[in-house]
Amino acid sequence: MRDDGRDKISKRDIFLFYALPIIISIGVVFLLNKNISSDTINLLITIFSIFVGLLLNLLVLIVGFRNTIMQNAIKHKVLDETFYNISYAILISVILIVLLFTAIVSSGIPMQIISTTSFFIIGNFILTLLMILKRVHMLLTKQDKKPQCSDSNAKYIEQSAISKNK
């Protein structure tokens, strides 16, 4: 949630990952009057249980991948951030599973509160998952390239190397 290169908390990220899902979930539940049904609760518990398992596997892969990129500081930083994002996604998935399981077992909690909280967590999870995918893609595709130079610079470098050898 911090801006890259600065130590300030990003207001844009706070809005995107927390305020926007809250606004949308409140709008869906209270303005559109949509609550989660018991069939949807069962489906969500199944889906997020599967996601927890997959994310735990990805976490293990990230830890194993860490030893291979120790030389590259940028990739190491992205790998650490990806690790934290995956851990956060697992945490909010488990929280959602517990909340939904509690909704099945207990009838004392109003369905509007459960629906609003569930929609918020689902929205936050989707955004976090997209961030994880972006970072994993960057880790796997970004090549360490040598800086490109123009033709005139290349000729100058070549002539300098030839003159040093004489």
Hey, what are 108's tokens? 């004392």
Domain ranges of the chain: 11-165
Write the DSSP string, 142-159.
---PPPP--HHHHHHHHH
CA distances to 12, 15, 25, 125 from 9, in Å: 9, 11, 24, 20
Cβ atoms of 96 and 51 closer than 8 Å: no
> For 19-57, how does the pLDDT look when each residue is reduced to its tens digit (9 = 90+)?
999 999 999 999 999 999 999 999 999 999 999 999 999
Average pLDDT over residues 3-24: 85
So what's the pLDDT on residue 4?
60
Phi/psi for 9 (5° steps) reads -75, 135
- Its pTM stands at 0.79
pLDDT over 50 at 108, yes or no: yes
